[in-house]
Amino acid sequence: MSTPRRSLPPLNALRAFEVAGRQLNFRAASEELGVSQGAVAQQVRLLEDHLGISLFKRMPRGVALTPQGANYLSEMTRAFDTLCKATAQLHDRADAVTISVTPTFATKILIPQLSELKSALPWVELRTIATESVSDFDRDQVDIAVRQTRPPFAASQEAQLLFRHDLVLVASPHLLGDDKRPPTREQISRLPLLHDAQNHWPKFFDSVGTLPGAVFNQTTLALDAALAGQGVAIACRALVQADLDAARLVEICPAGFSAGSDFYLVRKRSPHPRNSVDAVWSWALDHWAVG
């Protein structure tokens, strides 16, 4: 027997619970919802009063879901996913394709080839999401993703290797001067080091301490600094190949170790794939896959 809609809990309370349940942190939930932490707690309390059930266990540090809360969260997440999908479909065009890529991939590979892609697939409206986080294909309405990852992949996903994560040290030729000899490890240590979120320099120098140099939260920013002659960066060869070919950067030496993951093209398997998604998928494999 279905519950009358007028007896359902308030939508704001359900939203607060769903986000707080996913985050298991009222402060993080408040940031996602754009409200105060107190407002989230108040809405959750309102929902618990409405249901007559405790959904969270309050602990000295954070919260945990009760068994009833965990079951309810699963259903609420599914319900909000359905709402998001239905709303997105109101605005979606059949020929729109959303691709999620890392910021560095977007800057170094995707954006320089956008005009070529548009010429090849003029009927496709490409929508790009540049993020380091792993996309949820349903929640984020993503059709295709480029990710630095490794097998195995979920049975629900199709994945194709684009290129290996072959790490190299690069710098502007102006930084290195006229000396064409490869610098030694000791000479490299005296150059300005450009750090990113991957934090490869300690492994290169076999060091456990903090190394000097500018720190960036994205590889693309470290590479911009390298292009400006401000230091040496460690990056995937495929992502800097165009700069190496154009002599904007020079390869100092291989990093000498594996990143432990490679770049893959990934999408959700579908019994009825859209022609536009198939077209972008095939174009990407033709133009981005190495070897």
One domain, residues 156 and 279: yes
One domain, residues 266 and 154: yes
**81-131 pLDDT, tens per residue?**
888 777 666 655 558 899 999 999 999 999 999 999 999 999 999 999 988
The whole-number pLDDT of residue 91 equals 54
Degrees, nearest 5: CA angle 260-147-123: 155
One domain, residues 199 and 238: yes
**Residue after which a domain boundary falls, among 46, 66, 90:** 90
Mean pLDDT, the chain, whole residue set: 88
| pLDDT exceeds cutoff 50 at 1 | no
One domain, residues 14 and 54: yes
> What range does the domain containing 66 cover?
5-90
| DSSP H or E run through 114 | helix 114-120
Out of 105-119, 148-162, 178-192, the most confident range is: 105-119
Sign of CA dihedral 188, 190, 196, 197: positive
Averaged pLDDT, 26-55 = 90
**Residue after which a domain boundary falls, among 45, 68, 90:** 90
Averaged pLDDT, 33-62 = 89
One domain, residues 147 and 199: no
One domain, residues 28 and 11: yes
The whole-number pLDDT of residue 176 equals 83
Looking at the structure of the chain, the number of domains it has is: 3
**The domain spanning residue 206 has which CATH number?**
3.40.190.10
One domain, residues 280 and 160: yes
Instruction: Tell me if the pTM is above 0.75.
Output: no
The whole-number pLDDT of residue 63 equals 87
The whole-number pLDDT of residue 83 equals 82
Calpha distance 178→290 (Å, rounded): 32
What are the beta bridge partners of residue 194?
214
